[in-house]
Each structure stands twice: as C-alpha cells, then as structure tokens.
Amino acid sequence: MQFGIIGSGSWATAIAKILTDNGNTIHWWIRNEEMIGLMQKRKHNPQYLSSVYFNPQQLVLSNDLAQVVASSNILVIAVPSAYAESVLESLPEDAFKGKKIVSAIKGILPNINVLLNDYLSNKFKFPLSDYFTLLGPCHAEEVAGEKLSYLTFSGIQEATVFDIARHFETEYINTVVNQDVIGVQYAAVLKNIYALGAGIAHGLDYGDNFLSVYIANSANEMSQFFKSLPANSNPSNKEINYTASVYLGDLLVTCYSLYSRNRTFGNMIGKGYSVKAAHLELSMVAEGYNASKCIFETNKILQAEIPIAETIYQILWKQLPAAEGFKKIEGYLF
C-alpha cells in the first residue's frame, strides 16, 4: 500500500510518525514549500511535534496535492475541518477514483455543515464503501512521546478496515475496529464541544466533583444524539456500544487532558477572554468552536435533547455570559 497524508499539523505529523515507524514510505502533502525545505534539511516538522525525527528516505514531500493523490492508494486527510474544502476543491471530480480515503478530521465542515464523507460524495462521487475514519482517544503529543495509545478505525467494509488498521500497529499504538463510520464522526464532533464546556467550567472555578457530573451527563447527551440519527446512518445494523473508547474514552480524555486544545480554549472563555482573543492566544484550531454551531444547526432537524451542547453554542456564538450559561447547565445535570 502507498499511503498519502494531506495536512501538516500536529495530528498529521503524529500519523506520519506512526506510519513511518511501522516501515511505510509516505507521500506527504504540505502546503508551504519553505516548510518542506526545512523538513528535508532538519528531518522534523519545525512547527508541530518538533521532537519527532523522520528518516528522509521514507518521506516523499510535496506541495502538489494532485501528485500526492495520484501517487497514493490510501489517503489520510488530516487537515482541520474548517480548511478541508479549500484544500480539496482544486482536485478534479475523478481524483479519488479507485482510492481509499481515511478521514482523520475531527469535525463537521463548517461552511456547508456536512461530514467529510458527504462532501466527498457530493463533489467527487466518492462511495461510502471506500471511506474510513481514524479516531482516538489519542493525543498527538502522546504519540510523539510513544506513550501507549489506541486508535479506532471505522468503515462499513470490515475486512478492509482491519487491513488498513494493521499498518498503524506499533509498540505504542493498538488499534480497534468498528463499523459505525457515521456515528464515530459525530462522536468526535460532540466530544470537542463538551470538552470546550469542560474548559469553561474550569475557567469558572468549578471543581472536579462538578466536572465528573458534567461529563457523565454529556456522555448521556451524546447517546441521545446518536439515537436520533437516521436508521441508515448505521449500514452494518450492528448494535453499538457507546461506552467504547472511541465514544466515551475520547470524551473523557478530551475533557480532562491538558493537551486538549478545546479544553484550553474553553478555559480562556471561562476566565473572561472573548472568542476572538482566545483564538489569537491559542494560535491553533479548536474544533469545538465551529462544531457547536454545526451541531446546533444539525439538531434543528434531528430534534435530540442536547441542552448542554446548545448552551455552549449560546455562550460561544450568542454572547451568553459563561457564568450564566453554566448556571443553566447546572439545572440540566442529574
């Protein structure tokens, strides 16, 4: 298999480390030509996870997206959801024909409010059968430190999912497989919203006791959202365990971990930063910000009971004071 990676942030760099540590040569699309030169010279990504060094013989670096796509059988898309459209829009409709796509995107495409698989289907006629997801619970920083982590791969073709997953298994990465390719994507979207809320709570000086109740209720709210999805969202028709690591585990680590940019962003909001100031201070994309609006709009159709997520949306997008919003959230918890 020839792997291609689209993206050059911390998560893309972590994925590149996993694949190369497992002996794979990768084609890696990086937008900035100057950065490519630095990586070739220094053998690491100077902007993200700079402690990770690569064997240059395993890297084919290029800022020509079409060339990376053409050279790869399996493409891992690992750009922030807000940039996915602008990155892919220049490709012709048949660019992905015969390819497998693995989404490492943890969000909804905010400009059109759809998951990546829907965008690929609409623009490139790309079939869901060739679409897979790569999700956590897993922080890029812990991959860099080779701390044991678990990756969940999802897709409706179970045999192919196992085949892709085995290329990511290392001494520090264990892989898990499921077939809930739509549900796991919404889980990644929702957990970022709740983690942002956990950060707000911390910034407002709520303690661990409150946070444990908040997270338990957030997990319950997530399950209510999943149950509201259309029946065809689970093509395998298998019963889904929403306490599994890709659902509950990823929610927990994103809410608690100091590596979580969503928690960090929320903490700033709780301490009184404006959304704009928090964005500038963080200097990285907190997926939960756009996700809160996307889920709010999506839920106008689904009508799930998700008052915590909707209150976080009100805080971030409708200027509801954080302290007032969390007083409301206190009333939703049990």
The span from the CA of 271 to the CA of 169, in Å, is 40
Which of 128, 152, 179 marks a domain boundary? 179
State whether 57 and 128 are in the same domain: yes
| Number of structural domains in the chain | 2
State whether 187 and 317 are in the same domain: yes
Q: What is the mean pLDDT of residues 3-28?
A: 96
Known catalytic residue at 106: no
Q: What is the mean pLDDT of residues 183-210?
A: 97
Is residue 176 scored above 80 in pLDDT? yes
CATH of the domain at 151: 3.40.50.720
Nearest to 315 by CA among 332, 294, 292: 292
Q: What is the mean pLDDT of residues 209-231?
A: 95
State whether 38 and 167 are in the same domain: yes
Helix (H, G, I), strand (E, B) or coil at 305: coil
Amino acid 238: pLDDT:
77
CATH of the domain at 229: 1.10.1040.10
Amino acid 283: pLDDT:
74
Is residue 231 scored above 80 in pLDDT? no
Amino acid 282: pLDDT:
83
Q: Could you report how far apart the first and last alpha carbons of the chain are, in Å? A: 49
Tell me the pLDDT tens digit for each residue of 278-323. Answer: 988 887 778 899 999 999 999 999 999 999 999 999 999 999 999 9
Amino acid 232: pLDDT:
74
Tell me the pLDDT tens digit for each residue of 107-148. Answer: 899 999 999 999 999 999 999 999 999 998 999 999 999 999
Residue with the two structure tokens 């996700």: 291
State whether 49 and 105 are in the same domain: yes
State whether 165 and 209 are in the same domain: no
State whether 21 and 57 are in the same domain: yes
State whether 189 and 160 are in the same domain: no
State whether 217 and 162 are in the same domain: no
The span from the CA of 90 to the CA of 204, in Å, is 44
Which of 117, 144, 179 marks a domain boundary? 179
State whether 194 and 248 are in the same domain: yes
The 8-class DSSP code of residue 233 comes to G
Cα-flanking dihedrals φ and ψ of residue 253, to 5°?
-65, -35
Amino acid 280: pLDDT:
86
Q: At what angle do helices 181-203 and 322-332 cross, to 10 degrees?
A: 120
Which of 179, 195, 217 marks a domain boundary? 179
Helix (H, G, I), strand (E, B) or coil at 39: helix
Cα-flanking dihedrals φ and ψ of residue 124, to 5°?
-115, 5
Tell me the pLDDT tens digit for each residue of 93-109. Answer: 999 999 999 999 988 99
Q: Which two tokens stand for residue 207?
A: 């303690």
Catalytic residue among 191, 227, 271, 300: 191
Amino acid 85: pLDDT:
96
Percent of the chain with pLDDT over 70: 99
In sequence order, the 6+-apart residues with CB closer than 8 A to the CB of 212 are: none
In sequence order, the 6+-apart residues with CB closer than 8 A to the CB of 127 are: 121
Average pLDDT taken over every residue of the chain: 94
Residue 272 banded pLDDT, cuts 50, 70, 90? very high
Nearest to 134 by CA among 11, 244, 309, 46: 11
The span from the CA of 200 to the CA of 312, in Å, is 9
Percent of the chain with pLDDT over 90: 90
The torsion defined by the Cα of 51, 245, 75 and 52, in degrees rounded to 10, comes to 10
Give the pTM. 0.93
State whether 147 and 203 are in the same domain: no
State whether 69 and 203 are in the same domain: no
State whether 288 and 139 are in the same domain: no
Return the H-helix or E-strand segment holding 181: helix 181-203
- Give residue 46's domain range: 3-179
Residue with the two structure tokens 């929702």: 190
Residue 205 banded pLDDT, cuts 50, 70, 90? very high
Residue 224 banded pLDDT, cuts 50, 70, 90? very high
Q: Which two tokens stand for residue 188?
A: 């990644």
Amino acid 38: pLDDT:
93
The span from the CA of 12 to the CA of 149, in Å, is 16
Cα-flanking dihedrals φ and ψ of residue 67, to 5°?
-65, -40
